[in-house]
Structure 1
Amino acid sequence: MGRRMRLTVRSMATGLALGFAVYFAARGVWWTPVQPDVPLFMVAAIGLYIATILTAVLAGMDQGVRMPLWCGILALVTSIAVPHLVSVSLASADRVAPFATWYIGATGLLGVVCIVRRRFLIGWLTLLVLIVLSCAFMGPENAFTLGLVGSITWVTVAQLLVLFWDRAVRDTERLADIQQAVSAWHATQQVRQRERRMRVQLALAVAGPLLARTVAERGALDAEEKTRARIAEGRLRDELRGASLLNDAVREAIADARGRGVTVTVFDEGGLDNVDEQRRDEIRDELAGVLAQVSTDRVIIRAGSDEVIAVTVVGRGGAGGSRDEDEVDLWHEIPREAPGT
């Protein structure tokens, strides 16, 4: 729809420019009752102007709005040549005749086309040339009375409209980018929430019955049931606090470690954010391998927001009081990028 609107606006602007160009050219050949002393110069001026305005409006339109440089130079040369040809073809007294002043509006229109096609400097130079030559050939008072004010107004308004239009286009594109980013963020959050619900439902399906029995028995469980309840509770916490770190292998490795009496804590602080899915699978597999070999009393798995390290696994001893609680038995770091990349 945006492209269709741009094409419609461009078509309308092109049609208006060509329509006004034809109007000014028609004024130039309306030699009644006065005729040029050198009609060939007048005809040459009209022909040059028509060819230039067509080129300025249509050249390079398929490549973008900005006018080719050579076309802008042609417009500037024409803005110098046309007033000279028209004025030379007429006697001094006839240069203020209605048909003789057509080049004022025509050259102003040429400047407007240059402005609209993003050749601002050439557009203003065209207007400056028109002001100087029209004042030189017919006098400042006649020039401003017979259309120069209108040409100056056209070029000024065209410049303001183009600036406002470009600003509006930039703001629209910026808003569209923001909207796309917000939509993508909402979609990501919805996917994450759906995955989180599914994982919690899975954990509850496994741990729910045992936890319900724990509540019903008011904690009066035998040793095996207590171990199973502790593992089930830990699994539920894992699903809530570290879902992105888990796959079947990691879940199984954590369950086995807890079955051996290891206290496992999982924290997800965005360590796998901006990591592609293939690398995430590799990180989880490496984490499962590390957990399968732990023999310490307490393990902390943390996915921090470090730019280099995705996951850190720390093992500490002393859970039973036989060793210093601050003693680190295991320290394993899994980088965000695969080694060698």
Structure 2
Amino acid sequence: MMNHFRPMILGLAAMFSAYHILLGVYSLNLPASPAPIIVAMAVYAAASVASLWPTSPIRMPLGLAFFNVAVAGALPLIVGSQLDGASSSNGYATWYVAAVGTLLTITATRKRPLLAWIGTGFLIAHTVVWAGAGALGSMGVIGSAVWVAAAALLSRALAKAARDAQQFARAEREAARWQAAQEAHLFERQVRLTHTNRLALAMLQRIVRRGGVLDESQRQECRYLEAAIRDEIRGRRLLNDAVRDEVMTARRRGAIVTLLDEGAMDDLGGAELERVLNTLAEAISRTTADKIIVRTAADGSDTAVTVVGLRSPQPGTGSLSEDDTGDEVDLWLEIPRALAQTKQH
């Protein structure tokens, strides 16, 4: 918004600066010599143009701020040397007071308040020495100091408002991200609960009808059901209907299946995710391993899912020693994130 109004603000400041020069031109007949006054007006005009340049940054460069302080010190000395400070007929010939006040107000507005106050202090000191303390009000020095003070306070308030606005914007973005994450978690929980209810409802109703008395086959079905519910919690995005069917088939033949989704596939979706899961289902259907461990790969890896199938060695079937009871690797499969050839060992 400040950038939108900046041309108008610069235009008004330029009009004020030009007005002071016009007052100096109008009163050229009052100084002892007009030449120093013209030099003072030229220096002031150069400082004003540099300070109001449209493409300059909001914070005034330090070199330009020091130049403005030097101009604020030079103008009273140059113009005052051609006037009588004790005279009451100087009139508009003291145009430099308002000019210095305007230049230092611009300096304070552009976030150089300390240097603006240094220039104001010199103007006050010169006026007191040159014309007496009583001239501070009649020559407009107090008014110039008030403008500098107002500009410094306004600049500080605007800077604080800008910082607060940035903090509020960051807080709003964080709140929006948090709300989106919470909604996503809530939706996922609802989906998981709905699917779990569909899996367990029939068995729970059967348990209620039989009063909790189940035969061994029904107890085994409850174990399968418990494992399937655990898959929904720990497996998350490793599951689709094909994977669920193949995992249940493997468990019914006696295999131990573990699914671990650690979040590395959260960015996959659509056809890519279905490709990975269908490849996983096919791998589970082909293996005869006693233990199947499926887990997502580490973040940043080109692999989406790693599948390991282990088979317990049968006694007397070629072990390295009679005491060797380690599992044998029956399947090692890496399913890539991108569409590429699957690595299988």
TM-score for the superposition, normalised by structure 1 = 0.68
Residue 50 of structure 2, aligned match among 50, 55, 58:
55
Larger Rg: 2
Amino acid at match of 2:21: A
Q: CA deviation at 1:296?
A: 9.9
Show the counterpart of 2:4: 7
Q: How does 1:142-181 map to 2 (within 5 A)?
A: 142-145=134-137, 146-181=139-174
Q: Which moved more, 1:234-243 or 1:256-265?
A: 256-265
Q: CA deviation at 1:178?
A: 0.8
- Whole-Å Cα distance in 2 between the matches of residues 122 and 256 of structure 1? 82
- Whole-Å Cα distance in 2 between the matches of residues 275 and 38 of structure 1? 82
Residue 15 of structure 2, aligned match among 16, 19, 27:
19
The reply to whether residue 228 of structure 1 matches residue 225 of structure 2 is: no
Contact 2:237 2:266 in 1 (8 A): no
- Whole-Å Cα distance in 2 between the matches of residues 274 and 165 of structure 1? 46
| Unmatched 5+ stretches in structure 2 | 297-345
Show the counterpart of 1:329: none
Contact 1:80 1:129 in 2 (8 A): yes
Residue 58 of structure 2, aligned match among 62, 65, 68:
65
Q: Deviations over 1:246-281 (max 9, x none)?
A: 67798578646754678989999xx65999769xx9
Q: CA deviation at 1:107?
A: 0.7
- Whole-Å Cα distance in 1 between the matches of residues 157 and 233 of structure 2? 51
Contact 1:200 1:236 in 2 (8 A): no
Amino acid at match of 1:204: N
- Whole-Å Cα distance in 1 between the matches of residues 47 and 265 of structure 2? 55
Amino acid at match of 2:187: R
| Unmatched 5+ stretches in structure 1 | 304-341
Q: Which moved more, 1:210-219 or 1:164-173?
A: 210-219
RMSD: 4.8
Residue 93 of structure 2, aligned match among 97, 100, 123:
100
Q: CA deviation at 1:177?
A: 0.5
* Aligned positions, number: 319
Q: CA deviation at 1:72?
A: 1.7
Amino acid at match of 2:49: L
- Whole-Å Cα distance in 2 between the matches of residues 274 and 39 of structure 1? 82
3-state DSSP of counterpart to 1:166: helix
Q: How does 1:1-341 map to 2 (within 5 A)?
A: 3=1, 5-8=2-5, 10-31=6-27, 35-58=30-53, 60-61=55-56, 64-94=57-87, 97-136=90-129, 138-145=130-137, 146-240=139-233, 243=236, 255=248, 259=252, 272=263
- Whole-Å Cα distance in 1 between the matches of residues 47 and 70 of structure 2? 10
TM-score for the superposition, normalised by structure 2 = 0.68
Show the counterpart of 2:338: none
Q: CA deviation at 1:113?
A: 0.8
In the superposition, relative to structure 1, how do residues 247 and 158 fare at CA in structure 2: closer, same or farther (>3 Å)? farther
Amino acid at match of 1:130: L
Contact 2:110 2:155 in 1 (8 A): no
Contact 2:60 2:111 in 1 (8 A): yes
Q: Deviations over 1:96-126 (max 9, x none)?
A: 6221222112111111111111123322222
Q: CA deviation at 1:227?
A: 2.1
In the superposition, relative to structure 1, how do residues 241 and 96 fare at CA in structure 2: closer, same or farther (>3 Å)? farther
Contact 2:127 2:135 in 1 (8 A): yes
Contact 2:30 2:93 in 1 (8 A): no
In the superposition, relative to structure 1, how do residues 46 and 170 fare at CA in structure 2: closer, same or farther (>3 Å)? same
Amino acid at match of 1:53: S
In the superposition, relative to structure 1, how do residues 178 and 97 fare at CA in structure 2: closer, same or farther (>3 Å)? same
- Whole-Å Cα distance in 1 between the matches of residues 226 and 118 of structure 2? 79
Contact 1:200 1:240 in 2 (8 A): no
Show the counterpart of 2:321: none
- Whole-Å Cα distance in 2 between the matches of residues 118 and 168 of structure 1? 14
Contact 2:127 2:133 in 1 (8 A): no
